[in-house]
Structure 1
């Protein structure tokens, strides 16, 4: 990992030589990355590259077996997502874990609902939740028609944006996004990337997991490439072009060999 940081101060989150095994299967081997405030670190790789395992380690779902995992310079070993969340690390998974029939405001506060009154008169403060949800979304540039509509009626891109705004509102310092554009079309992907950039501009450190180098290069400051559980590259944006990033992710010499094999032979 280069020491030519883009931002002053140490990283919010850093992995140094982290590895993870499941029985005899080595899922992640000697992976390092840094996440800085106001920057986006993109982790790229195809299926089976180790991206899911990396997410689980950062999010606290699974502890790492070797290497160092530090948060704000303090070495940690998370054994639950709550520990990571308490340190300001919020993870937005691809399936989003929303309740489709509940309104947007209810999903926004799911698990963190404010109440009013005491004892038997205690009840959810629905007015405050509606108003806060609307303002928090507006603060991210998201102007929904109605926060009372079921979140299942929103497009995939809009649901991703609500999840990002929720993480920002509840004080996340590091936002981990699991393939947020994987199931979206071009227009919706652009909308989501716009709000990923808004989270960065709000001062968060963002980890963007993706298999799309074009999406990564639109917003990324740092790029970590994974292949079969190991790092195949680590670059700052200023040190690599989109074509180079795409070629490296595609396999470089392996792609040349495949191109040669598939080229039409002339008589």
Structure 2
């Protein structure tokens, strides 16, 4: 069996007397969508910040494809092939789609124009941006010269996901990607998530939307009060059962933990 593309063991993080993470384990395979669910204060945000380099855990280990890593910054995580799309999206509204895809990764023109005069190779970036959007099958973004501030919420989310997919060679983390989106735009984002999985990337989806979670997730990691309660699948539990476990109204039988079971890939 191949090594997980991303694995965390015993992650702990405290903020004074407040426990953010209490010895949390997480396992993500390539070509898998792992949803992370939990009430407010469950530690979801702290967990993804530790996995994406935005926060340094107090204890525990993180491994990428079996190699232990130490992320001190988000750039460290990006260099390891992990991209994160936060709920705030972090797009530059005044810039066009192509410029947003290469934000903080701008390409310079070859030769002295790039090295001495530091001129950007806008033509190459636009061509690559169009190719990457086409490869992802994003049909809602037709004009890469269009300013992001003129796009709908779903289109802006598509830009952020496309940027993550373009540079996230191993893992893409999505924080509430369908929040505040309509039904049609939500469907487009869910299709993008499936496309990322089908391309062999590991996807971590943080969401409060149980129908969305059960539609696209292969496994569901449940957090409560900073602890990992266990991992279930859409085949082993219903959305109501997942919510009951998440809120403490029910407990998960350790024998049902999906991380301890041999599971077959999901076909959708």
Band of TM-score, shorter chain: 0.7 to 0.9
- Residue 8 (structure 2) aligned to one of 4, 8, 15: 15
Deviates more, 1:84-93 or 1:59-68: 59-68
Aligned residue in 2 for 1:125: 121
- Give 1:213's match in structure 2, choosing from 188, 191, 210: 210
Q: Distance in 1 between matches of 2:210 and 2:243?
A: 6
Aligned residues of 1:19 and 1:65 also touching (Cα < 8 A):
yes
Report SS of the residue matched to 2:76. helix
Give the C-alpha shift of residue 198 in structure 1.
0.7
Q: Is the 8 A contact 2:82 2:168 kept in 1?
A: no
SS at match of 1:177: strand
Deviation beyond 6 Å, 4+ runs, structure 1: none
Output the CA distance in 1 between the equivalents of 2:209 and 2:60: 28
Q: CA deviation at 1:236?
A: 3.4
The Cα offsets for residues 141-181 of structure 1, whole Å up to 9 and x where unpaired, read as 11322111111211122112222222222242101111111
Partners of 2:239 and 2:215 lie apart in 1 by 9
Aligned to 1:57: 50
Shift of 1:121: 5.0
| Contiguous gaps of at least 5 residues in structure 2 | 252-268
Where do 5+ consecutive residues of structure 1 fail to align? 1-7, 255-267
1:199 paired with 2:196, answer yes
Task: Find the structure with the greater CA-based Rg.
Answer: 1
Q: If the length of structure 1 is used for normalisation, what is the TM-score? A: 0.86
Corresponding residue pairs, total: 247
Partners of 2:136 and 2:174 in 1: CA distance: 16
For the pair 1:84 / 2:77, whether they are aligned, the reply is yes
SS at match of 1:115: coil
Q: By how many angstroms is 1:71 displaced?
A: 1.5
Does the Cα contact within 8 Å between 1:38 and 1:205 map onto a contact in 2?
yes
117-126 vs 222-231, which moves further: 117-126
